[in-house]
Amino acid sequence: MTARISPYLPISAGGLNLSGEGDAERITALKLIVGLGNPGREYFRNRHNVGYQIVNMLAKAHDLRFDKRRGKARLALGSVDEQRVTLVKPRTFMNESGRAVAQVARFYQVEPADMLVIFDDLDLPIGRIRLRPHGGTGGHKGMASIIKVLASRDFPRLRVGVGRPPGKMDPADYVLQDFSVEQEEVMAEVREQAVAAVEHWLAEGIESAMNEYNSPPKPPSAEPTRLSPSKKPKEPPSASRRQPQGIITDSPDNN
Active-site position among 48, 134, 140, 200? 48
Contact at 8 Å (CB) between 209 and 131? yes
154: helix, strand or coil? coil
Query: Judging by DSSP bridges, how do beta strands 157-161 and 31-35 pair with one another?
Result: unpaired
The residues facing 88 across adjacent strands are: 34, 75
Contact 38, 94 (CB under 8 A): yes
Known catalytic residue: 48?
yes
Any idea what the Cα angle at residue 33 is, between residues 32 and 35, rounded to 5°?
140
Q: Which residues pair with 33 in a beta bridge?
A: 87, 116
Please identify every residue annotated as catalytic.
48
